[in-house]
C-alpha cells in the first residue's frame, strides 16, 4: 500500500505542476490581454493623469533611469536594449548635450523579474530622482514599473513591451514598439492582400498570453477582411515537443497558410514536423520568431515563411545602415536582437522631447513626449499617438535559405480595434 | 478521415516508442533497487546534447553519408549516456545501498538537479540549440507511401530502432546468464547476493542499459522533432515515461513498453478526437492526458497493468 500512497502523492504533485496550472493561466492571460484592448486606443483624455508631482533637474546633470534585464532568462534582450540606449545618450552628449547639460544614465538590473523591476524603479524615481525612466523590454516587468512611475508622476518609455494594456496605466506611459493589436492586424492584412491567402489554420500556444492575444487579433482581422480561419489547434509552450497530432488535424482541413503566434522555441519544431506530416503551406507569425536558431531548428519547413518584426539588420534605410555601422564600431558586432534599435529609439524619443520641453521636469517632459511627431528613428518614423503608443509602420520579413529576416514590405500604421470576447 | 486516423496512429506509436524506451530505464532500475531514478530524464537530456554536438562536428562535411551520421550520433549518445549512468550509480547510489529508501530517493532528485543546473555550465543553452534539420532531412527527405498514406521515413526509422533495441533487451534479459542474474536480483536482492551473484555488478549493468536506452531516445526525439535543447529538455519526457512505467506496472519490462505505447496513442487520439467534441480545445490538453491517466491508474489499479497485486516491500 505504501507504494500506492507515494505514487498518488507524486501524481497529484505532477498534475498540479504540469497539467492544471498552464491551462488556468492561459485562460486568465488571454482574457486580460484581449479584454483591455478595447479601451487601448481611446483618446488621451481617457488616460489618467499621474498622481505624483514628478522630479526636477537640479544642477548640470540630467538624470535618466534605465531598467533592464541584465541577468536572468531575458539577458540577451535586456543587454541589447541597454546598448542601444547608451549609444543614443553618448551621441547626444558628444554633440554638446542640452545647452551644456549632460544626460546621465542610472542603470538598474531587473534580473528578468517583475518584483525586482518594481523595486528598482522605486529606487530610481524616489532616491536617484530621475526625471524619466527607459524600459523594460518585457511587458510583465514594464507593468509594475509603469505603475510606480504613475504614482510618482514620472514618464516611462518602454522599448519593447508589445502587450496592449501597458499604456492604459496612465498618461505617463509610452512605447516605441508596435502593439500586438497592430501586429496581428498587419499580418492578417499581409496574408490576405499580399499573399492572397483565404483559408488559414492557426496553431496557438495556450500557455502564453502573447500567443493567445496575437491569435485572437489575427482571427478577427483576417475574417474582417473576408478570409476564413479553418481551424485552430493548441499546444502548451515548454511542455509540448511533438506537434504532429495537431498538424495532422490541420492538414485534414486543407488550409492555404499556417499562422503560428508562439515563440521560436516551438515555431522551429512545428516547421520541421509540418514537413513530416506533409503539410506544405507557408507559415506566418509575429516577432516571437526572432531567434538566430530559427533556421537551424525549422529547416526547410520554415523557409518561405513570413513574420513581422520592428526592424531588420538587412533593411536598406539610411537610419538602419548608420545605426548598425556605429553599433558594430562600439560593441564589435551587429545587434543580436531588435531590442538594440528599439532601446536606441526609446532614448531618441526622450532626448528629442528634452529639447522641446518647456522646463526640465517630469511634467513638461511628459507633455513633450506625447507631442512627438514624425521622428526619424531606426525602427521607423515615430509619432506618439493619443494612447501613448508609437504610430509607425511594421516590417514584414521572409525566411530564406540565407537569412531568417529578409525584408519584404513595410505596412503603414492603421487602426484596428479587436472586440474583446 | 481514415488517412488522418492512420497518420495519428503512426504519430502516437512513434511518441509511445520513445516513452517506452525511457520507461524501460525507470522500470529496470526500480526492479533491481526499488528506486525511482529521477535523474533518468536528465540522462535523456544529455543524450540529446551529445547527439547535437556530434552532429555539429559532422554536419558541414560533405564527405559523410547522412545515414552514417545518424548512426554515429545514435552510438555516441548511447555510449555517452551509459557511461554517465554508470558514474551516477557508482557515485550517488552505491554508497547509499544500506541507507533508508527515502535518502536514496532524495539523492536521486539531487542528481537530477545537479545535471539540470550543472549542465548550464557545460552545455550551450543561450540561444537553445537544436539539431539542424538537414541532419534529419538529408536522410529522410521523401516520405514513404504505404497503402495510400504518406509516412515519414524518420518516424519509421525511430520505430524500427526502438523495436530492435527492445528485442535485444528482451533476449538479453531472458536468454543470458547476466539477464537471469538480473531477474534474480529483481526478485530478491539479498537472496541473490547469498547465491553468489555479484549484485553490484548487476546493478551497474542495469544502469548502463537503462541509460543507453534513454540516450537513444534523446538522440532520436531531438533529431526528429527539432525541439531546441535546454538542460531541462528531459523534464517532461522523463515525467511521462515515469507515468508509462507506473501504468505498465513499475518493475515490469513488457509493462513499460505497453505503458509507453498507450500514453503515446492516448496523446495522439485526444488530438484526433478534438473535431468531434467542439468547444473544449482538447488539443491544448494533449500533454495533460498523461496525468489524467496516472491518476486513473492509481485510483483503479495502483500496481499497474502487469504489476503484481501483492506489494513486495
Q: What is the DSSP string of A246-271?
A: HHHHHHHT--SEEEE-S-HHHHHHHH
pLDDT for the residue numbered A283: 96
Asked, for residue B174, whether it belongs to a domain, the answer is: yes
Question: Domain tally for chain B?
Answer: 1
Structural domain harbouring B201: 18-233
Between chain A and chain B, the number of residue pairs with CB atoms below 8 A apart is: 171
Per-residue burial over A212-237, b = 16 or more CB atoms within 10 Å of its CB, e = otherwise: bbbbbbbbbbbeeeebebbbbbbbbb
pLDDT for the residue numbered A323: 95
Query: Looking at CA atoms only, how far is residue A1 from chain B in angstroms?
Result: 7
Q: Where are the domains of chain A?
A: 61-178+316-388, 181-309+397-411
Cα distance between residue B226 and residue A265, in whole Å: 9
Cα distance between residue A352 and residue A356, in whole Å: 7
pLDDT for the residue numbered B284: 82
* Residues counted in chain A: 421
Q: Note the ipTM here.
A: 0.84
pLDDT for the residue numbered A27: 33
pLDDT for the residue numbered A332: 93
Asked, for residue B198, whether it belongs to a domain, the answer is: yes
Binary contact (A293, B281; C-beta < 8 A): no
Distances (CA, A) of A213 to A207, A219, A265, A340: 11, 10, 18, 25
CA A63, A64, A65, A66 torsion: positive or negative? negative
pLDDT for the residue numbered A296: 83
pLDDT for the residue numbered B2: 80
Mutation for testing the B interface, residue in A277, A291, A301, A336 having most B CBs under 10 Å: A277
Continuous segment of H or E residues that includes residue A232? strand A228-235
Asked, for residue B188, whether it belongs to a domain, the answer is: yes
Asked, for residue B80, whether it belongs to a domain, the answer is: yes
Find the CB nearest B294 among A11, A244, A246.
A11
Asked, for residue B291, whether it belongs to a domain, the answer is: no
pLDDT at residue B141 is higher than 70: no
Find the CB nearest A276 among B4, B154, B228.
B154
Instruction: Note which residues in 105-144 of chain A have CB less than 8 A from chain B.
Output: none
**Interface residue B236 vs chain A (CB under 8 A):** yes
Asked, for residue B178, whether it belongs to a domain, the answer is: yes
Q: Which residues contact B137 (CB under 8 A, 6 or more apart)?
A: A275, A299, A300
Cα distance between residue A379 and residue A317, in whole Å: 10
Binary contact (B224, A276; C-beta < 8 A): yes
Average pLDDT over residues B294-313: 77
Question: What residues of A are in contact with residue B133 (Cβ under 8 Å)?
Answer: 272, 296-301
CATH class of A181-309+397-411: alpha beta
pLDDT for the residue numbered A14: 47
pLDDT for the residue numbered A21: 34
pLDDT for the residue numbered A9: 52
A41 vs B207: which has the higher pLDDT = B207
Asked, for residue B99, whether it belongs to a domain, the answer is: yes
pLDDT for the residue numbered A28: 33
Distance of CA B305 to the CA centre of its chain: 19
pLDDT for the residue numbered A76: 85
Sheet holding A390-391, edge to edge: A375-377, A380-384, A390-391
Write down the CATH superfamily of domain A61-178+316-388: Response regulator (3.40.50.2300)
pLDDT for the residue numbered A26: 34
Cα distance between residue B156 and residue A283, in whole Å: 26
Which of A45-49, A347-351, B122-126, B302-306 is predicted with the least confidence, judged by mean pLDDT? A45-49
pLDDT tens for each residue of B225-239: 888 899 999 999 999
pLDDT at residue B73 is higher than 70: yes
Asked, for residue B137, whether it belongs to a domain, the answer is: yes
pLDDT at residue B175 is higher than 60: yes
Distances (CA, A) of B217 to B25, B35, B156, B222: 11, 21, 14, 8
Binary contact (A14, B267; C-beta < 8 A): no
**Interface residue A63 vs chain B (CB under 8 A):** no
pLDDT tens for each residue of B10-21: 889 988 999 999
From first to last of its 421 residues, what are the pLDDT tens digits of chain A? 445 555 555 554 444 444 333 333 333 333 333 333 333 444 444 788 998 889 998 888 999 999 999 988 788 889 999 999 999 999 999 999 898 899 999 999 999 899 999 999 999 999 999 999 998 998 889 999 999 999 999 999 999 988 888 999 999 999 999 999 999 999 999 999 999 999 999 999 988 888 988 999 999 999 999 999 999 999 988 788 889 999 999 999 999 999 999 988 899 999 989 988 889 999 999 998 988 888 888 888 899 999 999 989 898 899 999 999 999 999 999 998 889 999 999 999 999 999 999 999 999 999 999 999 999 999 999 999 999 999 999 999 999 988 888 999 999 999 888 887 5
Nearest to A52 by CA among A154, A132, A129, A140: A154
Find the CB nearest B133 among A242, A251, A298.
A298
Per-residue pLDDT band for B61 (boundaries 50, 70, 90) equals low
Q: With pLDDT > 90 as the criterion, what percentage of chain B qualifies?
A: 57
A181-309+397-411 shares the fold of A61-178+316-388 = yes
Question: Angle formed by the axes of helices B199-225 and B133-140, to 10°?
Answer: 80
Query: Looking at CA atoms only, how far is residue A240 from chain B in angstroms?
Result: 7
Residue of A nearest to B283 (CA): A234
Amino acid at each position: 500500500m505504501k507504494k500506492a500512497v507515494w505514487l498518488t502523492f507524486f501524481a497529484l504533485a505532477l498534475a498540479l505542476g504540469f497539467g492544471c496550472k498552464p491551462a488556468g493561466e492561459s485562460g486568465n492571460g488571454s482574457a486580460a490581454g484581449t479584454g483591455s484592448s478595447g479601451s487601448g486606443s481611446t483618446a488621451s483624455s481617457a488616460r489618467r493623469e499621474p498622481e505624483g508631482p514628478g522630479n526636477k533637474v537640479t544642477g548640470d546633470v540630467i538624470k535618466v533611469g534605465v531598467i533592464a534585464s541584465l541577468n536572468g532568462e531575458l539577458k540577451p534582450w535586456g543587454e541589447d536594449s541597454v546598448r542601444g540606449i547608451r549609444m543614443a545618450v553618448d551621441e547626444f552628449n558628444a554633440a554638446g548635450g542640452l545647452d551644456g547639460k549632460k544626460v546621465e544614465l542610472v542603470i538598474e538590473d531587473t534580473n528578468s523579474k517583475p518584483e525586482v523591476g518594481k523595486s528598482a524603479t522605486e529606487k530610481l524615481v524616489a532616491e536617484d530622482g530621475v526625471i524619466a525612466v527607459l524600459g523594460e523590454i518585457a511587458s510583465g516587468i514594464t507593468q509594475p514599473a509603469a505603475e510606480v512611475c504613475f504614482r510618482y508622476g514620472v514618464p516611462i518609455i518602454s522599448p519593447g513591451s508589445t502587450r496592449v494594456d501597458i499604456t492604459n496605466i496612465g498618461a505617463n506611459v509610452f512605447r516605441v514598439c508596435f502593439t500586438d493589436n497592430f501586429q496581428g492586424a498587419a499580418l492578417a492584412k499581409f496574408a490576405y492582400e499580399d499573399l492572397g491567402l483565404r483559408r488559414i489554420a492557426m496553431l496557438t500556444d495556450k500557455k502564453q498570453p502573447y500567443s493567445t492575444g496575437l491569435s485572437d487579433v489575427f482571427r478577427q482581422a483576417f475574417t474582417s477582411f473576408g478570409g476564413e480561419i479553418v481551424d485552430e489547434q493548441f499546444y502548451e509552450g515548454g511542455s509540448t515537443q511533438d506537434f504532429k497530432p495537431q498538424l495532422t488535424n490541420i492538414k485534414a482541413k486543407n488550409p492555404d497558410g499556417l499562422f503560428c503566434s508562439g515563440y521560436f522555441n516551438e515555431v522551429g519544431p512545428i516547421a520541421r514536423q509540418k514537413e513530416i506530416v506533409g503539410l506544405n503551406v507557408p507559415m506566418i507569425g509575429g516577432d516571437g520568431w526572432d531567434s538566430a536558431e530559427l533556421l537551424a531548428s525549422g529547416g526547410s519547413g520554415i523557409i518561405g515563411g513570413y513574420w513581422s518584426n520592428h526592424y531588420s539588420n538587412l533593411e536598406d534605410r539610411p537610419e538602419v545602415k548608420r545605426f548598425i555601422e556605429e553599433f558594430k564600431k562600439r560593441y564589435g558586432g551587429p545587434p543580436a536582437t531588435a531590442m538594440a534599435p528599439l532601446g536606441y529609439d526609446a532614448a531618441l524619443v526622450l532626448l528629442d522631447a528634452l529639447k522641446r520641453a518647456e522646463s526640465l521636469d517630469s511634467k513638461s517632459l511628459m507633455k513633450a513626449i506625447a507631442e512627438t511627431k514624425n521622428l526619424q528613428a531606426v525602427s521607423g518614423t515615430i509619432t506618439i499617438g493619443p494612447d501613448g503608443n508609437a504610430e509607425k509602420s511594421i516590417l514584414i520579413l521572409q525566411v530564406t535559405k540565407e537569412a531568417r529576416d529578409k525584408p519584404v514590405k513595410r505596412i503603414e500604421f492603421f487602426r484596428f480595434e479587436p472586440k474583446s470576447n | 478521415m481514415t488517412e488522418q486516423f492512420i497518420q495519428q496512429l503512426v504519430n502516437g506509436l512513434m511518441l509511445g516508442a520513445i516513452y517506452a524506451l525511457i520507461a524501460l530505464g525507470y522500470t529496470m532500475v526500480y526492479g533491481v533497487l526499488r528506486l525511482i531514478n529521477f535523474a533518468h530524464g536528465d540522462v535523456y537530456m544529455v543524450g540529446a546534447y551529445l547527439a547535437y554536438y556530434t552532429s555539429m562536428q559532422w554536419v558541414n562535411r560533405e564527405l559523410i553519408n547522412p545515414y552514417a551520421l545518424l548512426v554515429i550520433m545514435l552510438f555516441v549518445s548511447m555510449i555517452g549516456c551509459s557511461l554517465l549512468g554508470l558514474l551516477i550509480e557508482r557515485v550517488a547510489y552505491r554508497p547509499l545501498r544500506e541507507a533508508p529508501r527515502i535518502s536514496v530517493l532524495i539523492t536521486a532528485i539531487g542528481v537530477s538537479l545537479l545535471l539540470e543546473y550543472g549542465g548550464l555550465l557545460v552545455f550551450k543553452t543561450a540561444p537553445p540549440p537544436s539539431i539542424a534539420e538537414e541532419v534529419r532531412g538529408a536522410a529522410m527527405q521523401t516520405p514513404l507511401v504505404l497503402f495510400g498514406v504518406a509516412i515519414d521515413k524518420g518516424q519509421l526509422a525511430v520505430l524500427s530502432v526502438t523495436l530492435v533495441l527492445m528485442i535485444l533487451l528482451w533476449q538479453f534479459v531472458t536468454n543470458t546468464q547476466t539477464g537471469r542474474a538480473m531477474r534474480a536480483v529483481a526478485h530478491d536482492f539479498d537472496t541473490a547476493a547469498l547465491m553468489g551473484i555479484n549484485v553490484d555488478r548487476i546493478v551497474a549493468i542495469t544502469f548502463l542499459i537503462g541509460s543507453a536506452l534513454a540516450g537513444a531516445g534523446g538522440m532520436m526525439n531531438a533529431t526528429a522533432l527539432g525541439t531546441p535543447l535546454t538542460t531541462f529538455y528531459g523534464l517532461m519526457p522523463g515525467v511521462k515515461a515515469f507515468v508509462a512505467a507506473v501504468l505498465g506496472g513499475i518493475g515490469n519490462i513488457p509493462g513499460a513498453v505497453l505503458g509507453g505505447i498507450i500514453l503515446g496513442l492516448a496523446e495522439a487520439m485526444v488530438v484526433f478526437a478534438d473535431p468531434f467534441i467542439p468547444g473544449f480545445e482538447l488539443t491544448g490538453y494533449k500533454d495533460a492526458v498523461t496525468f489524467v491517466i496516472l491518476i486513473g491508474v492509481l485510483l483503479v489499479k495502483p500496481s499497474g497493468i502487469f504489476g503484481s497485486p501483492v506489494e513486495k516491500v
